[in-house]
């Protein structure tokens, strides 16, 4: 969808300019008399049918489509702000309005929800659209090191134990490093699990020490790094992580976010974590979440694939490695429904 603001001396002049620019398919979103001699009209045209990308496009094509998506969403946000200021009410068919209310009701941001309900006709088509826009990835596929970081209480430690346990089931030789100089209890919790799993463990305090410890793990297939839970505004914490991420170590980075956290907090966290080199996202505590729209919001905002979801406290279980369709279904399903793995999901 292309959205543009037109200004002219009168509404008839504005409509002529809109038709000249967008053609006969243009839709008027709002209009306002700014002064006796100036009007402003917001119009849009949907180019989607004319520009559908072929399936199986390469990485460059996917990035271009993502940039277009983010630009469209930014334009929609501007239009929504304008309409609210002018007292304009969105008019749409009843079934579209119900979809919009449902999407915002599960905490999908309004500008994202508006874009989705414009394209979708019902729940089935909505799942199809979400499936195409949400990317997933197999975590830890190639890098020897996998580091998890995220806000306090996001469930990093239990998640790293689940990931390590799943890797052991696959026959991999595993070690865990705790990069936690803030909380003794966190490191001790990891140490206790490594004793149960009978795998190597080390506690380090900076990037240099991490490198020295890694030299002892030559016979290890994969090393998981647990980090301290800190508020994302903690500059010392972020700087330490950035130094490690940007070292020459073969590392994959996972940003862990709790689906039960306040949506505004998660969005605010983006201001800080966007500085990090993030490879993929992991969402935890789906079993505690009331609304799961934040998963869709953050997957778009961060422009990164989702690697896994956790759905409970049982270790090594309660972790899913879903495909895009499963993520879409879990976002939209009623929170009272039991989460079950289906095709494309391993546990």
328 within some domain: yes
The three-state secondary structure class of 185 is helix
Parent domain of 291: 145-332
The position carrying tokens 């449902």 is 102
Question: How many domains is the chain partitioned into structurally?
Answer: 1
| pLDDT for residue 52 | 41
Residue 223's φ and ψ, nearest 5 degrees, are -115, 125
Q: How far is CA 56 from the centre of its chain?
A: 22
* pLDDT attached to residue 172: 92
> Nearest CA to 116 among 105, 126, 124?
126
Query: What is the residue-level pLDDT of the chain in tens, covering all 347 positions?
Result: 577 888 888 767 877 888 888 876 676 666 666 776 787 777 777 554 444 433 344 465 556 666 666 666 666 666 556 555 554 455 556 787 888 889 999 999 887 888 888 788 888 999 999 999 999 998 766 678 899 998 888 888 899 999 999 999 989 999 999 886 655 556 778 888 889 889 999 988 777 788 888 888 888 999 999 987 777 777 887 888 888 877 777 889 999 999 998 888 888 888 888 888 889 999 999 999 888 999 999 998 888 999 999 999 888 889 999 999 999 999 998 544 444 443 344 44
Residue 49 lies in a domain: no
Decide if 216 is inside a domain.
yes
pLDDT at 241: 82
- In whole angstroms, what is the distance from residue 159 CA to residue 319 CA? 8
232 three-class SS: coil
Q: CA-based angle 148:74:58, to the nearest 5?
A: 60
pLDDT at position 338 = 43
Is 137 within the bounds of a domain? no
| 63 in any annotated domain | no
Q: What CA–CA distance (Å, rounded) separates 237 from 185?
A: 18
Phi/psi of residue 198, nearest 5 degrees: 60, 50
| pLDDT of the residue at 336 | 42
pLDDT score of 263:
82
If you compute the radius of gyration of the chain from its CA atoms, what whole number of angstroms results? 24
Residue 297: inside a domain = yes
Half-sphere exposure of 322 (CA within 13 A, CB side): 26
- pTM comes to 0.72
148, 254 Cβ separation under 8 angstroms: yes
Answer whether residue 265 is part of any domain: yes
Residue 45 lies in a domain: no
8 Å CB contact between 175 and 163 = no
180 vs 187: CA distance, rounded Å: 7
Strand partners, 158: none
CATH of residue 310: 3.40.50.300
């Amino acid at each position: 969808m292309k959205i543009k603001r037109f200004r002219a001396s009168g509404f008839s002049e504005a409509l002529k300019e809109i038709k000249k620019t967008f053609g006969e398919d243009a839709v008027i979103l709002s209009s306002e008399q700014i002064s006796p001699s100036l009007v402003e009209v917001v119009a849009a045209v949907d180019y989607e049918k004319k520009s559908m990308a072929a399936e199986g496009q390469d990485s460059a094509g996917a990035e271009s489509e993502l940039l277009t998506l983010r630009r469209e969403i930014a334009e929609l946000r501007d239009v929504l702000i304008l309409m609210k200021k002018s007292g304009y009410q969105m008019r749409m068919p009843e079934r579209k309005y119900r979809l919009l209310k449902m999407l915002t009701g599960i905490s999908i941001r309004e500008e994202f929800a508006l874009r989705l309900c414009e394209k979708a006709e019902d729940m089935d088509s909505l799942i199809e659209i979400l499936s195409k826009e949400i990317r997933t990835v197999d975590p830890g596929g190639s890098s020897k090191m996998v580091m998890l970081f995220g806000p306090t209480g996001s469930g990093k430690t239990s998640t790293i134990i689940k990931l390590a346990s799943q890797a052991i089931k696959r026959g991999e030789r595993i070690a865990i490093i705790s990069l936690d100089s803030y909380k003794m209890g966190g490191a001790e919790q990891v140490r206790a699990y490594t004793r149960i799993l009978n795998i190597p463990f080390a506690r380090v305090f900076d990037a240099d020490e991490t490198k020295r410890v890694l030299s002892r793990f030559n016979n290890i297939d994969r090393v998981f790094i647990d980090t301290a839970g800190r508020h994302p505004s903690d500059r010392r914490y972020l700087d330490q992580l950035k130094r490690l991420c940007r070292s020459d170590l073969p590392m994959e980075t996972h940003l862990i976010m709790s689906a039960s956290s306040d949506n505004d907090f998660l969005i605010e966290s983006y201001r800080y974590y966007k500085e990090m080199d993030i490879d993929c996202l992991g969402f935890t505590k789906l079993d505690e979440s009331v609304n799961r729209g934040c998963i869709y919001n953050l997957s778009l905002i961060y422009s990164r694939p989702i690697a896994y979801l956790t759905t409970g406290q049982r270790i090594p279980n309660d972790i899913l490695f879903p495909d895009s369709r499963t993520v879409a279904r879990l976002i939209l399903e009623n929170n009272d429904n039991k989460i079950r793995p289906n095709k494309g999901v391993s546990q």
